[in-house]
Amino acid sequence: MNKHQLVQTLRNSNGLSKQEAEQVVNLFFNELSDSLIRGNRVEIRGFCSFFVKKYGAYTGSNPQTGKKVKIPSKKLPFFKAGKELKERVDR
């Protein structure tokens, strides 16, 4: 399912206009993103949690040349499925 299909499903199941459904979906994703940017964990009980992992800088090597390369620190978003979601998918 992509974002457009989610908007359509929300629209059809709740009698919303296309614009209203898009606003709801955009609001959800914007708030989720903003919360992760602030370093907060987002938990949707029974479904999943989103969080940010921080990685420190390290020295790597370019596989083509073998040269040492400094890799800067970074933050990456992660998704962890909740227990109920895991059980539903496994059925």
pLDDT value for 59 = 96
In the chain, the amino acid numbered 12 is: N
Q: Tell me, which fold does domain 41-91 have in CATH?
A: HU Protein; Chain A (4.10.520)
Average pLDDT of the residues in 7-27: 95
pTM above 0.85, yes or no: no
Please provide the DSSP assignment of 22-43 as one string. HHHHHHHHHHHHHHHHTT--EE
* Distance separating the N- and C-terminal Cα atoms of the chain: 20
Read off the pLDDT of residues 40-79 as tens digits, 9 standing for 90 and up: 999 999 899 999 999 999 999 999 999 999 999 999 999 9
pLDDT of residue 82: 94
